[in-house]
A = this chain, B = another copy of it.
């Protein structure tokens, strides 16, 4: 079935077939598709293209309908194939055969989502988590011992951090690693059921070892969570003594990965198996660390693992792009219902509602691609050591925490809308949309639950906000308080103190034509972030003086707003990255079309939060009333460019593989059209009952 979908159809190409004009091609500017592809692929375009070329091999494709065991076996085989083809060493030290190219590593990894998300995530488990823990948390002795075998997949491993009882709150995990100076061993132990390690890829079947996070206890002191290398299975795949586990069984997706549970009954490992870059225990049991603060040490260790979030931001974006490629290509060929104008049935994408469903999501995916490029550059800067400062690290973590939730949620939303826009055909596994949704579902809660990540971003925004006033004198604080009071007043009155913003909007008639300019969009989006943070900060200010329980209640009451402020921050970042990306485009026609697409994003975001802008006096009622109309106009204008814009993702038939996006639908339309035309000209077509004289 997939073969048929991929084969270039022997039927007419879209451009020649069914010579019925639709609004598919306009007369205005067209984008330069290859140049846009270059822009979207970004700094590591070469690696992305290598990765895409590799996965044109059907051996890497997700196959539907395999049993759980078959899927797991297939993905393991794919992983070996990937290792043989340079897919596992890009981030690794040159000493062990690696390329030491962190940005390229994630770029290449992200593209695997097009082949099979199970392959992507299982390779992420092996090299991005298990291997990266050894690399980033271990030292040379660990690298020498294991990295080569990790890269070659001689040593498949699990990353044992999450427990059944604790996911996001890693600091509270229950597994203990107690040092025994008698034998110079750590004793890894699971004290209760909630402390079982859970949801771990490679744990149910293939993992021969694991990097286990546990509370390090030595000399009667708990030094907090550290990571240990723990062998799991012997050569026959049997658990070693003291180790047990369970299979997590069928999941909502990613069933090519053998997720499972692990527990440890006083399992002894050598002292040297502590990955000791940030904390070590000497033979006598004394603890040392280059980072004195337990809190900072913990977050430094966890911060090494940010690449998971970075790469999911990219993978989710490319997955959503694939869904739009399929749905928009189909919508450009599929016809349904005639419009009474005597022409053939209408192409789906000519319906206003269909445009509204797909085109704003296309704008969103473009913004994500540009934002991800910035994130990846920042990541590469920090991890290559070029810009490895604590400020840059903190920015990187905040940026990843802001972007990963938005892109992974948007992926699910976009894939689902794409699937619905393809109707029953969209529900068939062969057309890939349902499988993409199943597999990417968990992206929103793993590697940091999206709401928890946004809350982290919100807290960072609050702390940055507070810093403005740190060390300020009384006069400055008084000025701040006055502004705040003014803010409160206009909140109630619906009129903003910054009169000029409302003043420059002009008549609503003109604004429908011109929409909101880029700088106006930027101001509205940025202003909203600032005001929301200031509002939450003001409401949380009493918390410091309250008893802990009341303080917690106050926080809880403001939690949803804080998360919403963080989301607004992420939206602004994506909008700005899109805008900056367009500025780098040389071709004026391309720039013009992409600017419309950016405007569609901006206006869609403003429409989504329109009540906030009205309540907070940022938009007049007149102006607000025009936003939706302008979105409709932008959709209609961009409709002619929709195919170019998805073509610019650069996917080849071997990446798309959905029969409905292969040209088959167009061939069917042409065949039906020709059949009716031939029947008509044969003179043998039945007449419609409706044309008969009415019976009495």
Contact = CB atoms under 8 A, between A and B. Distances in A.
B625 A353 contact: no
Contacts of A689: 221-224, 287, 294
A206 to B, nearest CB: 18
Contacts of A556: 350-353
A525 to B, nearest CB: 16
A454 to B, nearest CB: 9
A168 B449 CA distance: 39
Interface centre among A353, A451, A611 (most CB of B within 10 A): A611
A558 interface: yes
A299 interface: no
A381 interface: no
Interface string A671-696: 11001000000000011111010110
A351 B620 CA distance: 35
A251 interface: yes
A165 B494 contact: no
A166 interface: yes
A547 B339 CA distance: 11
Contacts of A217: 686
A199 interface: yes
Contacts of A24: none
Given A341-B548, A614-B624, A353 B434 contact: no
Interface in A405-452: 412, 416, 419-420, 423-430, 433-435, 437-438, 441-442, 444-446, 449-451
Interface centre among A68, A437, A441 (most CB of B within 10 A): A441
A592 B261 CA distance: 45
A503 interface: no
A12 to B, nearest CB: 14
Nearest to A166: B336
A668 B165 contact: yes
B559 A341 contact: no
Contacts of A53: none
A43 to B, nearest CB: 32
B167 A560 contact: no
Contacts of A559: 351-353
A244 interface: no
A428 B246 CA distance: 13
Contacts of A385: none
Interface string A361-397: 0000000000000000000000000000000000000
Interface in A432-479: 433-435, 437-438, 441-442, 444-446, 449-451, 455
A690 B222 CA distance: 9
A486 B524 CA distance: 31
A166 B346 CA distance: 12
A22 to B, nearest CB: 11
A424 B438 contact: no
B429 A441 contact: no
Nearest to A199: B424
Nearest to A451: B353
Report how many copies the assembly holds.
2
B687 A195 contact: no
B438 A419 contact: no
Interface string A61-85: 0001101100000000000000000
Nearest to A435: B252
Interface string A21-64: 00000000000000000000000000000000000000000001
B427 A442 contact: yes
A694 B292 contact: yes
Contacts of A441: 416, 419, 427, 434, 437
A643 interface: no
Contacts of A302: none
A551 interface: yes
Nearest to A218: B686
A194 interface: yes
Contacts of A549: 339, 341, 343
A563 interface: yes
A141 interface: no
A164 interface: yes
A632 interface: yes
A322 to B, nearest CB: 16
A413 to B, nearest CB: 10
Interface in A483-497: 491-494
Contacts of A312: none
A287 to B, nearest CB: 8
Interface in A136-175: 162, 164-169, 172, 174
Interface string A203-231: 00000000000010100111110000000
Interface in A582-626: 607, 610-611, 614-615, 617, 620-622, 624-625
A527 interface: no
Given A194-B672, A353-B560, A427-B251, A548 B339 contact: yes
Given A64-B250, A339-B548, A353-B455, 7 more contacts: A172-B345, A191-B675, A221-B692, A224-B689, A251-B429, A420-B449, A615-B621
17 contacts: A64-B250, A65-B67, A172-B338, A221-B686, A252-B429, A253-B427, A253-B434, A292-B695, A340-B548, A353-B560, A420-B445, A424-B442, A424-B445, A427-B445, A557-B632, A557-B636, A615-B625
Interface of A: 1, 64-65, 67-68, 162, 164-169, 172, 174, 191-195, 198-199, 215, 217, 220-224, 248-253, 287, 292, 294, 336-343, 345-346, 350-353, 356, 412, 416, 419-420, 423-430, 433-435, 437-438, 441-442, 444-446, 449-451, 455, 491-494, 508, 547-549, 551-552, 555-560, 563, 607, 610-611, 614-615, 617, 620-622, 624-625, 632, 636, 667-669, 671-672, 675, 686-690, 692, 694-695
Nearest first, the 3 A-B pairs at minimum CB distance are A252-B434, A494-B621, A610-B611
